[in-house]
Amino acid sequence: MLYQQKNMQVSYGEAIGILLLDSPVPFIPGDVANATTYDFPVRFKKVPGFSVKKALGKNESIYPELLNAAMDLKSNGVRAVTGDCGFMALHQKRLKQDLKIPVFLSSLFQIPFIRHIIADSEKIGIITANAQSMTLQFLESIGIQQGSDLLVEGLENCSEFKSAVLDEKGMLDSKKIQEEVVQAALKLVSKENRVKVILLECSVLPPYAQAVQTATGLPVFDYITMINYVFNAVVKKTYKGFM
C-alpha cells in the first residue's frame, strides 16, 4: 500500500483534536485533557490566554486565538475538534463555519439526543461548573432549547471544586471533588424524582461519572460519551468475525 504525505504533517493518526484552556488545573485520568482517558490517540492544543475566567465570562475577544489553535489542529490532520470547557461553545457556530470540519465544543449538545430517549414527562439533571453562567441566553446561543425538563446544579459553591478548578490553585483532591459531584447529583434527584438522566456538563467531571451512576442508578452522559461517539463516526472500524 502506498501512502502520501499530507499538509507538511510530522505526525499522524490523531482523529480528535482538543482545544485546551490556558489553565494550571491538574487533569486526572478521565478528564478531557488527559490523553490516557481515551482508547485512541488525540491531539491537544492550548489556546494562549483563554483562562477559566474568560470562558465563564463568555469573553468573545479570545476568538482569534481559538481559531488559530483550531486551525493548527486541522493542519495536523484531526477530523473533528472539541474542547475542554463547555463554555467554549459560545464560539461554536462561528468556529464550525471557519474550520469546515466537525466542531463540538459542549457536552450539552447531547441534550436533543437525551430528550429523544426519555419520556416527555421526565427530566434531565445537569451538573455544571457554574450554574450562574448557564443562562437562557447562553443555551439559546448554542442552539439548545431551554425547557422545564432541564434542571441545573452548579458546583461554584463547592469548596474543593471551586478552589481547584475555578480558582485554579494548582492542586486537586479528587476524592473531595467526587463527594461534591455525587452530592450535587443526589440533590437533583431528591429535588425532582422525575430526573431520569444525569448530564455532567463540565469537562473536569467524567472521572466521577461512575460514582454518580452508582449513587443515583441513572444513565450518565458527559464529555467522554460525546467524544467517543464522534470518534466512532469519523473513524469507522472494519468488522471481522464469523457466521
Q: Which domains does the chain have, with CATH numbers?
A: 16-106+227-234 (3.40.50.1860), 107-221 (3.40.50.1860)
- pLDDT of 11: 85
Beta-carbon count within 10 A of 213 CB? 15
The crossing angle, in degrees rounded to 10, of helices 63-75 and 92-99 is: 40
Q: Please say whether the beta carbons of 165 and 84 come within 8 A.
A: no
Could you tell me where the DSSP H helices lie in the chain?
52-56, 63-75, 92-99, 111-117, 136-141, 159-161, 174-191, 209-216, 223-234
Q: Which amino acid is at 207?
A: P
- pLDDT of 126: 97
pTM of the shown model: 0.94
The percent of residues in the chain predicted with pLDDT above 90, rounded, is: 85
pLDDT digit string, tens, across residues 97-145: 999 999 999 999 999 999 999 999 999 999 999 999 888 889 999 999 9
Q: Please say whether the beta carbons of 22 and 46 come within 8 A.
A: yes
Average pLDDT of span 165-194: 96
Average pLDDT, the chain: 95
Residue scoring higher pLDDT (52 or 115): 115
Q: Please say whether the beta carbons of 60 and 51 come within 8 A.
A: no
pLDDT digit string, tens, across residues 8-42: 777 889 999 999 999 989 999 999 999 999 999 99
pLDDT classification of 53: cutoffs 50, 70, 90: confident
Terminal Cα-to-Cα distance of the chain (whole angstroms): 29
Q: How far is CA 208 from CA 191, 199, 204, in A?
A: 21, 12, 9
Q: Please say whether the beta carbons of 137 and 58 come within 8 A.
A: no
